[in-house]
Amino acid sequence: MPAPHNPFKAALKAGKKQLGIWASFAHPYPIEMVASAGFDWIVIDGEHAPNDLQTITAQLQVLEDKHSHAVVRLPTGNDWLVKQVLDAGAQTVLVPMVNTAEEAAALVRAMRYPPDGIRGAGAAGARASRFGAITDYVTTANEQVCLLVQVETRLGMENLDAILEVEGVDGVFIGPADLAADLGHPGQSAAPDVSAAIQDMLARISASDKAAGILGMTEAATAQYASWGAQFLAVGVDVGVFSTAIRDLEGHWRTRL
């Protein structure tokens, strides 16, 4: 029995648009609610949300067999973190702050079993192989893992073309907030030179064999990113959606009672 098919990776390869959202509550109950909306992909955020391996695993369990595909964002690109979330059942991994082709190539190797990589082959006791029930997991998993790298600094932008040449990188995700900060405009991802840089990078990624991704935090930004070629596009963060709605609700009734 081979490793499970990765529908998100297949959709990116086929050039299909994929609509996503961030999950930052770090708990399986709210992510199950988010999954009921029908997004194509949901990011389990291990960088800025209070997630650890156990909470990530619990959310992977909830999303199994759901339409929404789990994308696990790591806090950093350490090979042992990659190994742990893959063994926990993640197939698609998003890594922040990738600045060079060498860093991207190292992540490709971390995602794969030998001879193509360095992933440890102890899958028999891992959730990814259904605890050994997927007998051909180690020999077939490499084909189904999906690596997304985040380019979100001036250095990463300068090295984008080299990163796009790295075989085994499936998509390049632009981080507007970090890019804006690194370009001298913290909190201003709509600044003219930041927008110009994002437009240029989305065009370059779209012209390659990689998929272009980004997170839009406003309706205007999201529509603009889509028109610039973003293929896998996240349209919000669950914590932000909830906090805005709950504050608006309080404000609505505070002035009426």
3-state secondary structure 47-113: CCCCCCHHHHHHHHHHHCCCCCEEEEECCCCCHHHHHHHHHCCCCEEEECCCCCHHHHHHHHHHCCC
11 SS3 class:
helix
In whole angstroms, what is the distance from residue 109 CA to residue 202 CA? Answer: 25
Two structure tokens written together for 79: 């090979």
Helix boundaries (H) for 165-211:
176-182, 192-206
166 SS3 class:
coil
Two structure tokens written together for 92: 């698609």
Out of 48, 69, 185, 252, the active site residue is 48
- Bridge partners (DSSP) of residue 171 are 148, 211
- Beta-carbon neighbour count of residue 212 at 10 Å? 24
| Residue 79 burial (10 A CB sphere; 0-12, 13-18, 19+) | middle
Q: Give DSSP secondary structure letters for 198-231.
A: HHHHHHHHHTTTSEEEEE-SSHHHHHHHHHTT-S
48 an active-site residue? yes
Active site positions, annotated: 48
